Structure 1
Amino acid sequence: MSDKKLVKIDRTDRRILEELQHHGELTNQQLSERVGLSPSPCSRRVRALEDAGIILRRVTVLDHKQLGLSLTAIILIGMDRHTPERFGAFESRVATYPEVQECYLITGQDADYMLKVVVPDMDHYHAFLLNKITRIQGVSGVHSSFVLRRVIDSTALPLGYL
């Protein structure tokens, strides 16, 4: 269980977070107008949300297909041993691969990890799999699935629960 305290979020904070999740490019002036605050209090609230670790970072979302990254694969990976050292080594290694967009330690499957990988095509995927993933010590099984269509592709969290 995490020792981190949950931060109390009020309606204004939630509105700020909703706007930033969908429009991270907003200036403080634009954000303050959208949430009904003057710029100084808005800026202080954003800084407090950053300091509390709620806003982790701001990124620009790119169109993968426009950049020639047409193949998205979901890879389930089994490990030969379930030790902290084995898992730590695997996680450190995949963190260095730019093709890996997401990596989860999972349960409920015949796998230990689930990766989301983006590459240009099947040839690149094949090279990634053979030259990187299967070379990681401890990888005992790999099952690949390929995304046909992105039905929902969102980074926004459901803030209605707050």
Structure 2
Amino acid sequence: MSSSTSLDAIDRRILRELVKDGRITNAQLAEHVGLSPSPCWQRTRRLEDEGYILGYTARLDRDRLGVSETVLIEVTMDRHDDAVLETFGRQMAEMREVIEVWLVTGEYDYIIKVAVNGTRGYEEFLRNRLYRVPGIRHSRSSFALRCLKEGGVPIPD
């Protein structure tokens, strides 16, 4: 993959527009970034081919889906051998409630972001999912009260 220094100003405008609206038509995108449709389409395809654009996704309304609560869980593992870490990673990937998992530095080994249906949904997640994962020594949870900013990737100037 090319470094971000190979992106010109138009490439960066294309990326910013697609972050705002991944379903924008090529004609609208071209107009927003100051190109005609054909070169805009070619640039977008190049950005995909070079790996700057990894894919397109839909943002879903978690309230409507009944999983409006976000919980951040800090996890410490009892061991750090390859088998335990591989099992942990695989099981996290299989859990539908798990939105993100980050390996981190500091007091805890991982931070897990989950979406659940209130405190009962969280208790069910803990009892039926997280506490059954081998190798977890300790966890600490925080319910998110409100998200101030979500998603996106900073696109360098």
- TM-score > 0.5 by shorter chain: yes
Counterpart check, 1:118 vs 2:119: no
Q: Residues 38, 5 of structure 1: CA spacing in aligned structure 2 closer, same or farther, 3 A cutoff?
A: closer
Q: Percent identity?
A: 42
Q: For structure 1, which runs of at least 5 residues remain unmatched after alignment?
A: none
TM-score of the two chains, using structure 1 as the length reference? 0.91
| Residues 2 and 50 in structure 2, CA contact (< 8 A), matched pair in contact too | no
Deviations 1:56-87 (A, max 9, x none): 11111112123322211000111111122221
Q: 1:141, 1:52 → 2: CA distance?
A: 41
1:52 is aligned, of 50, 53, 66, to 50
Q: CA RMSD in A?
A: 1.3
**Partner Cα distance (1:40, 1:74) in 2:** 44
How far apart in 2 are the matches of 1:37 and 1:84?
50
**What CA distance in whole angstroms lies between the structure 1 residues aligned with 2:145 and 2:152?**
22
Using the size of structure 2 for normalisation, the TM-score is: 0.93
Aligned match of 1:128? 125
Task: Give the unaligned 5+ runs of structure 2.
Answer: none
Distance in 1 (alpha carbons) for counterparts of 2:2 and 2:45: 18
Trace 1:1-162 onto structure 2 (pairs within 5 A): 5-7=2-4, 8-108=6-106, 110-153=107-150, 155-159=151-155, 161-162=156-157
Could you list the structure 1 runs, at least 4 aligned residues long, displaced by more than 3 angstroms after superposition.
Answer: none
Which structure has the highest helix share of the two? Answer: 2
Q: How many matched pairs?
A: 156
